[in-house]
Structure 1
């Protein structure tokens, strides 16, 4: 299945929040997670991630992540993008 421009959608989720420890991935408050959005490709997700990460650089505990939703939705596709 292809997107509007004939390109396969490789959905990515960008989200973040304040971590309990600098070395972990456990969030301090799940109710305050920042769901940035879902993006059709890695390039646009990375741009959103970078903007959010740079905007919160003063808070060492704040981290943003990119989740490859397409890998969760279709794990047998083998896509590594």
Structure 2
């Protein structure tokens, strides 16, 4: 393994998106075409900062919700399954 690979942290991609919910108790959106795709980020810290910024901009709309999706879990489900106590699909 090269020294570069050892010093560069592994990309753990996270998607940040949001939209207006039909019901505050659920996660079904009123308009899929109107979803706000904030972006894809290389780590949770950057995704969280983007999520927080987007959520704060929509604070006056109680039906608007933003989410962070751990894309690296979807791209590498075997890695998630290998962690103790984790179950894929749970």
Task: Tell me the TM-score normalised to structure 2 length.
Answer: 0.81
Q: Shift in Å at residue 22 of structure 1?
A: 0.6
The alignment of Structure 1 onto Structure 2 pairs a total of residues equal to 78
Tell me, which stretches of 5 or more residues in structure 1 are unaligned? none
More helix by share: 2
- Across the aligned residues of Structure 1 and Structure 2, the Cα RMSD in angstroms comes to 1.9
Task: Tell me the TM-score normalised to structure 1 length.
Answer: 0.89
RCO higher in structure (CA 8 A, sep ≥6): 1
- After superposing on structure 2, the runs of 4+ consecutive aligned residues of structure 1 that deviate more than 3 Å are none
**Which of 18, 21, 32 is matched with 2:20 structurally?**
18
Tell me, which stretches of 5 or more residues in structure 2 are unaligned? none
